[in-house]
Structure 1
């Protein structure tokens, strides 16, 4: 598990504007209704993010992260994974997520992503450049989204696990050569679940394909270092925020 109910995203290292957010329900092409949280900047800058949570699905950390993005001028929608198996129930610490993770399939997940994209495209942001930003399981899914024709401008993955073989289609390392969009990968150098040799292998596989990418590993930082409570890793969190915002700005400007 990445974040418990008391975790909160670090504040962005920029002067934030005002924003507002709300719980919403989206509907996938197969009729599945799933929970999401949408955050709107009062002064949009012309970029959008879809936030992929960790294994627990859409809980408070990611709702607040959506608001933090919106305060920087980036419209955000954070999505839940488990509409098909757990409905619209709460994702607090009492939620037994693993049985639902085991029933998660890429095909239906990508259908949910498309529903989130359609929502963003019909909102104030229109067809602005859109980025996937994921954490843990969501980091893996963010990069796997890059193997599909989903029209993303870029992919951001925090602590993307590389050993999960979803639907028997291969691990992230197996499929890294299929990624079509620029990648920013952020890892903890002391993350026991993601060895440094795997991080280096991902970097090399992306280099071999020629896809634009930046892979950053923060020495001494653990899994889930990006947490306001982790004051000893505040410098890494600030750097990670800066890199994410620069990545989004740079690639949005190219598409403009």
Structure 2
């Protein structure tokens, strides 16, 4: 897994906060009807005024408090954010405890199911953001799915962001092999001290995206581990702040969706 069950995402850089403390948005859980008709758990944090839209794709644990807090951070920055849970089909809709055994549910999750969930989440956001950009932001397992979501224009996404998304993800397609199908801008954020994602795999992905003409940027933070985006990692504050600024700048400089 990526983060401890009680982990918190890093605070926004102060200059990125658009909401006063008293108006801080709270994430609300609700039942999302996926594009394949399945009810799944989700959480939505709305900015006081709709900005861009963010679909958060969690790590292997699915929807848990870290990602609800992350949605709130995006809303504090002025952007609506929705977290989707991959595992409702096999684990049910109720919140899960620290003892949740994610592995059997992870193994049962398919690329098609995740993309159905993304499609439904984008539809929810569109009712608020209109033609403003909608971006998938994923972490670890979700980061790989964010990269792969860029190959499916039918999801309604305008860009994808992956935090330490694995580039040799086992039963999922390798993103480098799907680079020619990616039709949206892409941002990838990696830790330089992450043995799960070797530098040569990042270089391969970068080269494949370049050959495909994909607008992209892949950033590696030296000495940062896998899952460095955690407030408890005080030694990685610079990487966390840099990643926040990269993601928000990327999000805020995308063109509006085509009608």
Q: Give the alignment partner of residue 81 of structure 1, picking from 77, 86, 90.
A: 86
| CA deviation map 1:115-152 (0-9, x unaligned) | 11121123x32342100000000000001001112221
Residue 23, structure 1, aligned to residue 29, structure 2:
yes
2:12 is aligned to 12
Distance (whole Å) between structure 2 residues aligned to residue 36 and residue 28 of structure 1? 10
Distance (whole Å) between structure 2 residues aligned to residue 48 and residue 92 of structure 1? 29
Shift of 1:81: 0.2
Q: 1:186 touches 1:216 (CA, 8 Å); kept in 2? A: yes
Q: Give the alignment partner of residue 226 of structure 1, picking from 210, 215, 229.
A: 229
> Which structure 2 residues correspond to residues 55-66 of structure 1 after superposition, within 5 A?
55-66=60-71
Distance (whole Å) between structure 2 residues aligned to residue 253 and residue 178 of structure 1? 21
Shift of 1:247: 0.1
2:216 is aligned to 213
**Unaligned segments of structure 2, at least 5 residues:** none
Shift of 1:172: 1.9
2:95 is aligned to 90
Distance (whole Å) between structure 1 residues aligned to residue 213 and residue 201 of structure 2? 18
2:205 is aligned to 202
1:37 is aligned to 43
Shift of 1:255: 7.0
1:146 is aligned to 150
Distance (whole Å) between structure 2 residues aligned to residue 186 and residue 78 of structure 1? 19
Q: 1:130 touches 1:153 (CA, 8 Å); kept in 2? A: yes
Residue 184, structure 1, aligned to residue 181, structure 2:
no
**Unaligned segments of structure 1, at least 5 residues:** none
Q: TM-score, normalised by structure 2?
A: 0.93
Which range moves more in the overlay, 15-24 or 179-188?
15-24
Q: Give the alignment partner of residue 137 of structure 1, picking from 133, 141, 163.
A: 141
Distance (whole Å) between structure 2 residues aligned to residue 131 and residue 212 of structure 1? 14
Q: TM-score, normalised by structure 1?
A: 0.94
Distance (whole Å) between structure 1 residues aligned to residue 176 and residue 240 of structure 2? 25
Secondary structure at the residue paired with 1:189?
strand
The CA RMSD measured in Å over matched residues stands at 1.7
Q: 1:133 touches 1:157 (CA, 8 Å); kept in 2? A: yes
